[in-house]
Amino acid sequence: MGQPKQLLQLGNRTVIRYCLDAIIAAGLQDIIVVVGSDGDEIAAAIRGLPVVIVRNESRQSEMAASVRIGLRAVEDHASGVLICLTDHPLASGDTLEVLVIEHQATPDKIIIPAYRGKRGHPTLFPRSVVEEVFSGDNLRDVIGRDPGRVRIIDVGDEGVVLDMDTREDYENIVQKLAARKGR
């Protein structure tokens, strides 16, 4: 995209700020942000927010490596870990609250939101389950290992399935946000 997607504008904020504002609005605490080795600009864009920034210095690593690095910074008392991707910036704070409430009711389940039958992001993992990434597994393997421990929650939030991998995806998300604000 010619620049880090986290720093693209989404309304009057950067994508990373948009995501973090939803997380903070949901009342979540102990927020860990994993940035890459070139994450100085991203760290500067979120300076002052109640987050802990950690770095994944490996440019070629998979997302599981960033999850491992982030997990090392999570407080010991955390019963679950919500893995939020800036690739899905329109997932709402209300949706995050629903996931947390479901985690409180079923703390041993992996909680995945779905919109109109399509699985989305973010995913909430019980702390013990997400730590399986330390054995070398990626998150997809962790989720697929035991379908009985997965709970799909239908939400009315299209943001959970709006992915931002290309310039076209980004422009679609900008249009969706503008349409929401125009209501």
**Domains of the chain: which residue ranges?**
5-182
Q: How does pLDDT run across 12-57, given as a tens digit for each residue?
A: 999 999 999 999 999 998 999 999 877 899 999 999 999 999 999 8
Q: Give the SS3 label for residue 1.
A: coil
Cβ proximity of 47 and 40 under 8 Å = no
The total of other beta-carbon atoms located within 10 Å of residue 162's CB is 20
- Among candidates 125, 94, 70, which has minimal Cα distance to 22? 94
Q: How does pLDDT run across 49-100, given as a tens digit for each residue?
A: 999 999 998 877 777 788 889 999 998 889 999 999 999 999 999 999 999 9
The pLDDT assigned to 63 comes to 79
Mean pLDDT of 86-115: 96
Third-level CATH fold of 5-182? Spore Coat Polysaccharide Biosynthesis Protein SpsA; Chain A (3.90.550)
The pLDDT assigned to 31 comes to 96
The pLDDT assigned to 1 comes to 67
Backbone phi, psi, residue 112, to 5°:
-125, 125
Report whether pLDDT(2) > 80. Answer: no
Q: Give the Cα separation of 114 and 70 in Å (integer).
A: 25
The pLDDT assigned to 117 comes to 96
Q: Give the SS3 label for residue 124.
A: strand
**pTM of the entire structure?**
0.91
